[in-house]
Structure 1
Amino acid sequence: MITIPLRILLVEDVKTDAELIIWHINKIVEFPHVKVVDDLEDFELALQSFVPDVVISDYNLPTSSGIEIFESARSTDDSIPFIFLTGTIEDEVLASNTFLAGASGFILKKHMDNLDAKLGPLLKQIVFNMVGRTEIREKVRQNKIAVNQIYNYLDNLNVDTEEQRENIIQIRKNIENIKSDAGKVKGRNKGASQGD
């Protein structure tokens, strides 16, 4: 059993499936914090405020596709592990394409009876990759939430002059530059550790 707290963002539109998935997660993770959303808009809001350790998403949703959810996650944070869970796709080519796109896993809902056996190894690998970075991970999560709050504040700020508008644009550019620089450092550190 995974004993560290794990924040899981579950994208599932069928309530009974969501409940069953959470039941299986509770068999794998001692302290899961699961947030369930059922569309792209709520998913994007949850990415900003919840900042998950892993995303588990149905592939076919009424208002969007799993690929749209996946692309949204990647555009927000390309390091978030992402697992597809679906009942309608049994195409091995499509499954392999999701791995090529960067997904961490792909599970068919026909395996729901023993989902914990299929999902457990994927979550354990994610946790293994997180171990030793718990403190850093929490600081990064808090920083992401703070940046998102700043963006929301800027979006809701009433500006009266052109100078104020330009200052807000400059603040946004500075934040993006900081995020870009942090991503470059992360990429260099990742490359250096892989070369060891």
Structure 2
Amino acid sequence: MINTSLRILLVEDLETDAALIQRQIKKIVKTPEIEVTDNLEECQELLVNFAPDVVLSDYNLPTCTGLEVMELVKDYDENIAFIFITGTINDEELAANTILNGASGYILKKHMNNLAEKLEPLFKKVVINMVARDELRDRIRDNKITVNQIYDYLDKINEDNLEHRENVEKIRNAINQFRIDDEDVE
């Protein structure tokens, strides 16, 4: 069971398949957040407003193809995992091309009864990548904090140097004044 909450965008036109896929997902993800659509327009809106961690898509849809959905997703964020769940890809060459074009995987709908078993390793990879991105984000934030602290320190040194130069100039002026006063006395 995956305990990390996953935001899943399901692009599927058949309600029965969408319901079966959601049921299978809930077998392996403790708290999934799932949004379902069947067109590019809503898909684009959900990419922006729902921000999925993974997209599952059928290959043949009423108004577009799964490749168009994948292209939209990859244009939006190439790091979002994209998995085809379809009955269409019977041709191994077509399946290989989907992977070469950026899909993280594909699963045939004829394997719907053991979909959870096939999705689990793909979802675990998504979670590992999410954790790695979070760790990287934390390190970047920590580095920015350190850099800002260095800048603050350098600014203070510059202020101290300016004050030091001003004091040196005052001492020079005082020495010069002393020389002038001393020359007037002689």
Normalised TM-score (structure 1): 0.67
Alignment of 1:72-87 (within 5 A): 72-87=72-87
Aligned length: 138
Equivalent residues in 2 for 1:1-196 (5 A)?
A: 1-134=1-134
CA distance, structure 1, for counterparts of residue 104 and residue 57 of structure 2: 11
Which residue number corresponds to residue 178 of structure 2?
none
Q: Deviations over 1:117-167 (max 9, x none)?
A: 111111111111212444777xxxxxxxxxxxxxxxxxxxxxxxxxxxxxx
**What code does the residue aligned with 1:74 have?**
K
Q: Which amino acid aligns with 1:17?
A: D
Rounded Cα–Cα distance in structure 1 between residues aligned with 2:104 and 2:89: 17
- Give, as a single letter, the amino acid of the residue that structure 2 aligns with 1:77: D
Mapped partners of 1:132, 1:63: distance in 2? 36
Structure 1 spans left out of the alignment, 5+ residues: 138-196
Q: Which residue identity does 1:23 align to in structure 2?
A: R
Matched residue SS, 2:106: strand
Aligned AA (2:55): V
Residue identity in the other structure for 2:107: I
% identity of equivalent residues? 58
State the Cα deviation string for residues 65-111 of structure 1 (Å, max 9, x = none).
Answer: 00000000111111111001101221110111111111101100000
For 1:131, what is the secondary structure of its paired residue?
helix
Segments of 5+ residues of structure 2 without an aligned counterpart are 138-186
Stretches (4+) displaced over 3 A: 132-137
State the alpha-carbon separation in 2 of the partners of residues 115 and 11 from structure 1: 16
Query: Counterpart of 2:46 in structure 1: which amino acid?
Result: A
- State the structure with more CA Rg: 2
